[in-house]
Amino acid sequence: MVFTLPDLTYKYSDLEPFIDSETMEIHHSKHHQTYVDNLNKAINGFSEFDGKTIEEILKNIDTVPESIKQQVINHGGGHANHSLFWKLLSPVKTEPQGKLEDAINSTFGSLEKFKEAFTQKSMSLFGSGWTFLIFTKDNKLDIKRHSFQNSPLSYGNTPIITIDLWEHAYYLKYQNRRAEYIEAWWNVVNWVEASEIFSEAS
The residue ranges that bind Mn ion (CB under 5 A) are: 164, 166, 169
In the complex with Mn ion, which residue's Cβ is closer, 164 or 193? Answer: 164
Q: Minimum CB separation from Mn ion for residue 177, in Å?
A: 17
Q: Report in angstroms how near the CB of residue 55 gets to Mn ion at its nearest.
A: 18
The three-point CA angle 187-140-91 to 5° equals: 15
In the complex with Mn ion, which residue's Cβ is closer, 85 or 191? Answer: 85
Smallest distance from Mn ion to CB 30, Å: 10
CB atoms within 10 A of CB 112: 9
Nearer to Mn ion, 96 or 129 (CB): 129
Amino acid at residue number 20: D
CB-based closest residue to Mn ion: 164
| Omega before 6 within 30 of 0, i.e. cis | no
Burial 68-83 (b: 16+ CB within 10 A, else e): beebbbbbbbbbbbbb
* Cα separation, 134 vs 131, whole angstroms: 9
**Least distance from Mn ion to the Cβ atom of residue 142, Å:** 22
* Closer residue to Mn ion in complex, CB, 34/187: 34
Strand order in the sheet with 141-147: 141-147, 129-135, 158-164
